[in-house]
Amino acid sequence: MTFTIKYGIITINYGKSFIGRNAVLESLFGNLTVEKILFCLQVYRQGYPKGISRLFDISVNGIQQQLRRLEEGGVIVSFLQGRTRIYQFNPRYPFLKELKTLIDKAFEFLPENDIKKYYRQRTRPRRAGKPHLFSHMS
């Protein structure tokens, strides 16, 4: 599904999958990579260029360019954790609440298979000794 804004009118196109050229917020932000970064930061709260790059199979350079652009615009902030630069939403961004509301609403229109593939990843290792689901059935 895509949104197109022309002359103040929003047009909604229920088209291909989110990962295809028809993206939910691409027309609003002008870039599919920015859309993926914003969804990623909304779901996972933080991200780093290499991790986001692996998640979406996009070049690290492309991710870094858009992260830099978003940071220069004040939408996100970064900090170093060891040698890794971590990005997250800027809590002082004046439109943060509205932006997150828009992202949440757009997230509802993503195809379920894209949500499962990109936004339901484990972010930390499984606890040692924790039984696997269905392990009692073998």
Per-residue tens of pLDDT for the chain, all 138 residues: 555 554 444 444 544 344 443 466 777 888 899 999 999 999 999 999 999 999 999 999 999 999 999 999 999 999 999 999 999 999 999 999 999 999 999 888 888 887 787 877 655 555 666 665 444 444
Is pTM beyond 0.95 here? no
- Helix or strand holding residue 70 (H, E): helix 60-72
Residue 87 dihedral angles phi and psi, to the nearest 5°: -115, 145
Does 3.20.20.140 match the CATH number of domain 31-120?
no
